Amino acid sequence: MPKPFRSGFVALLGRPNVGKSTLMNRIIGHKIAITSRRPQTTRQRVLGIKTGPDSQIVFVDTPGIHRDRRRAINVVMNRTARATVEDVDVIVVMIDVGGWRPEDRLALDAAGSRSIPVILVINKIDQLKSKTQLLPLIEASKGMAHFAEIVPVSAQTGSNIDRLEEVIVGYLPEAPAGFPADQITDRSERFLASEFIREQLFRGLGQELPYVSAVQIEEMARKDGLIRIQATIWVESDGQKAIVIGKGGERLKAIGKQARLAMEKEFASKVFLELWVKVRKGWSDDANLLRSLGYTEDG
């Protein structure tokens, strides 16, 4: 008898910076979610679709669940993550080898509201000096909640990722694929382009600046083997604008170059990218503006 086909939605939940987006990119084999060393990199839900011979896993990468409630965008991000739980078949809660922190409990609480399998992933095992250090953490985790499985991995090196995929598939319902086999995300190239720019803001700017900036694609068109993109980086003050542009425009140039390289790789095309920096005071705390920039609680 052939194996039954299994498919379903899998939420990735966890505190900011634990490695959710890195894990999704690793499994899909493409950069569809941006990552950085800073917390709160992911702001919107992104699907990552992995189709195999007898399965289709649809990952839902979510913003890290956090305590920061200073701005409207923080509240939207937390709600987005929590709402995801309602529509999935399996939940992956991710912690890292550093052990349980208060914000990890928030993610676990969000997962606990439904009776579906919850798999605990312990990420960043590449940071352990010895595997024996894992055992006490696994033991402690068993006392935190009823986990269907506990799987240690390294999203960065790929260690034990095949095993995690097998475990996840085992908990998916028998169902036909919901997406075509060659589709890897629900997001448009336009969205990915704006995210690749935002990723450089998170990687290239210090302090608070990444958190008070947003990116909007004004124009994006494919023509004659080239993708032309015009985008605006929104910040909240003239001082921030000066920092993003940098001395003699150097910083903006570097941001544009790195973002363009990521786009060329992912879109398999030459890209011509033009960036502007504009000031819009209070965008991150303005509910209407957030909507116009695409930040909605169900997206």
Ligand X SMILES: Nc1nc2c(ncn2[C@@H]2O[C@H](COP(=O)(O)OP(=O)(O)OP(=O)(O)O)[C@@H](O)[C@H]2O)c(=O)[nH]1
- Binding ligand X by CB under 6 A: which of 7, 40, 44, 240? 40
In the list 109, 126, 162, 250, the residue contacting ligand X (rule: CB under 6 A) is: 126
Which residues in the 132-161 window bind ligand X by CB under 6 A? 154-156
Q: Distance of CA 33 to CAs 94, 114, 199, 227, Å?
A: 16, 26, 9, 20
> Taking CB under 6 A as the rule, which mask of x and - marks residues 4-23 in contact with ligand X?
----------x-xxxxxxx-
Q: For the chain, how long is the longest CA-to-CA vector? A: 67
Nearest to 125 by CA among 13, 50, 18, 12: 18
Q: How far is CA 287 from CA 5, 132, 151, 210, in A?
A: 42, 48, 39, 19
- Decide: 59 and 12 in contact? Cβ < 8 Å: yes
Query: By three-state DSSP, how is residue 45 classified?
Result: coil
Alpha helices, H only, the chain:
20-28, 72-84, 102-111, 134-142, 161-170, 189-204, 238-245, 250-267, 287-292
Selected from 8, 31, 32, 36, the binder of ligand X by CB under 6 A is: 36
Q: Which does 256 bind (CB under 5 to 8 A by kind): ligand X, Mg ion, none?
A: none
Q: Which residues bind Mg ion (CB under 5 A)?
A: 20-21, 41-42
H helix or E strand, kind and range, residue 270: strand 270-279
Contacts of 152 (CB under 8 A, 6+ apart): 97, 121, 122, 123, 125, 134, 138, 160
Query: Smallest gap, in angstroms, from Cβ of residue 87 to ligand X?
Result: 19
Q: Which of 5, 30, 39, 246 binds ligand X (CB under 6 A)?
A: 39
Nearest to Mg ion of 19, 152 (CB atom): 19
Site string for ligand X, 222-261 (x = CB under 6 A): ----------------------------------------
User: Which residue, 17 or 74, is less far from ligand X as judged by CB?
Assistant: 17
**296 forms part of the interface with ligand X (CB under 6 A):** no
Q: Is 129 in the site for ligand X (CB under 6 A)?
A: no
Nearest C-alpha neighbor of 54 from the set 212, 206, 163, 165: 165
By CB under 6 A, the count of residues binding ligand X is: 24
Which DSSP helix (H) or strand (E) runs through 123?
strand 118-123
Residue 124 interacting with ligand X (CB under 6 A) = yes
Find the shortest distance in angstroms from Cβ 296 to Mg ion. Answer: 18
Stretch of residues binding ligand X (CB under 6 A), selected from 36-44, 113-121, 265-273, 279-287: 36-44
37 is a site residue for ligand X (CB under 6 A): yes
CB 171 within 8 Å of CB 180: no
Q: Which does 36 bind (CB under 5 to 8 A by kind): ligand X, Mg ion, none?
A: ligand X
Q: Does 51 bind ligand X (CB under 6 A)?
A: no
- Footprint of ligand X on this chain (CB under 6 A)? 14, 16-22, 35-37, 39-42, 63-64, 123-124, 126-127, 154-156
